[in-house]
Amino acid sequence: MAASSPGARITLTPAPALKLIDDVPAPAAELRLRTGLSAVRRAALRDVIGSFVVSRIVIWSIGIAVALVLGVDGAQATRLDPLIHTAPFGSDFLNALFAPGARFDSAWLLDVAHSGYSTEGTAAFFPLYPGLVAGLGDVIGSDLIAGIAISSVTCIGGLYFVHRLTALDFGEDVARRTVWIMACFPMAFTFSAIYTEGLFLLLSAASIYAARLGRWNHAAAAAFLAGMTRVTGLLVVVPLVLLYLYGPRADRAADQGPGSAMRPRYRVRRDAALLAAAPLGALTFGVYLGFATGNPLATFAAEEQWDRALAPLAGLAQGFIAAGQGLIDLFAGTSFQENVVDPRAMGAMNLALLAFMVFAIWLTVKAIRRVPPAYTGYAVVSLALPLSTPALGQPLMSFPRFIMVLFPLWITLALLINGRGALRRTIGGSLVLLAAATGLFVAWIAAP
């Protein structure tokens, strides 16, 4: 697939540039892929680190300022972090210094890192990330610093794999735009905070990149670890299967011509068995929970504490209903729900969440003719999951954070942006929203 310009549509037949990869024997493809990689990798790292540093400067500047002005203590902090995991230092300045990296769910992840799954509700948090935090925290003496470091490093790695994957199909310019869009996304402060976003981006992007190159053992291993990071790791198997059957892939030539859109281009061989490893990460965690808690489905039971319930795609309609009620709440200052402390804030939040949902669905539709079907399929199933587990009162809760790691959406947006001026305006506007979201996060006002 190829695009003649950033906003151009692409066809579902391989362009000549991709045929050089897809239609040659594996050794020749490997030789082509390795030629000049040193310079390419350096350029990719410059793009990734540049976008990460610029966005982190915004996040940490705003976050520290908010923490110093408001302080790190308060009723909300005490309620949501009673064990003071997010402010463990004896110095107010040090606690403020790390405040942009630890709020809301950070307290839960730090609790798992410190005490394991001994508290009710912790089963909602998968073990790989808190396990890494606990391991590094033992070495350096601080779980909080360890978590921020792990998130930051894995985010850089994840953006790097997104860059390389995008460059394979669309070139370096689109890859550069994509990582800047992702690094500056309004919820991108969680990439360097004690959240699983950075680690999950690394593992999911690495898995799909390896599959794109036909390295199925690497793809399966990364997908397994993604399943140990969060429940959406189960969904990584979808793009892996689609890439295996339909491509594009670099390990061997297609067995069939384009033909029917539904007919696989690649025959199933023994290496297809590796794809079974993809969902095993999440299943392994379920087995562990069965032994540890007596309930292998404890993860889903824990989600009920956040008032989430399984209702296929119900979030679509409920998101619009909540936004309509939110519009009334915003002007009336009252709420249809009980126990809402600030109806106007809740109303504004539901309206903003609806905007993110509509934007994500629009990008998914645009992706259909612009990116490989495997990427679109990944976006579709990954959007369907949060839309099928709406939360009571705020059905689209955390939706912007969930879509942040869906790089096919941001590849599509990068393809739609024409010209440097449009890119600068997009990044500039996103950084403004990122600064505002960071302030609300650090002030314990709005969870991502």
Q: What is the pLDDT of residues 85-135, one digit of tens each?
A: 999 998 999 999 999 999 999 999 999 999 998 887 888 999 999 999 999
Could you tell me which of 113, 132, 117 has the C-alpha nearest to residue 292?
Answer: 117
Say how far apart CA 228 and CA 282 lie, in whole Å.
5
Q: What is the DSSP letter of 308?
A: B
Residue (of 200, 102, 211, 219) closest to 159 by Cα position:
200
For residues 57-78, average pLDDT: 91
Residue in 394, 385, 324 with CA at minimum distance from that of residue 360 = 385
Closest by CA to 281, choosing from 240, 202, 221, 323, is 221
State pLDDT tens for residues 280-308.
Answer: 998 999 998 888 788 888 888 777 777 78
Structure tokens at 206: 């690495």
- More confident position, 70 or 28: 70
Q: What angle do CA 189, 97, 156 make, to 5 degrees?
A: 40
The pTM of the full predicted model, rounded to 2 decimals, is 0.89
pLDDT of residue 382: 97
Residue 405 contacts residue 204 (beta carbons within 8 Å): yes
Instruction: Check residue 205 and give its pLDDT.
Output: 98
Q: How many Å apart are CA 303 and CA 386, to the nearest integer?
A: 12
Closest CA to 111 of 151, 147, 153, 75: 147
Q: Which two tokens stand for residue 83?
A: 């064990």
Q: Which position has the higher pLDDT, 39 or 3?
A: 39
Among the listed residues 268, 162, 141, 140, the one whose alpha carbon sits nearest the alpha carbon of residue 206: 162
127 touches 106 (CB < 8 A): no
Structure tokens at 196: 């699983």
Nearest to 299 by CA among 227, 209, 223, 369: 227
- Length of the chain counted residue by residue: 448
Cα Rg, the chain, nearest whole Å? 22
Whole-number Å distance between alpha carbons of 39 and 423: 25
- Name the pLDDT band for 341 (thresholds 50, 70, 90): low
Nearest to 169 by CA among 3, 41, 367, 377: 3
**Quick one: tokens of 424?**
């600068």
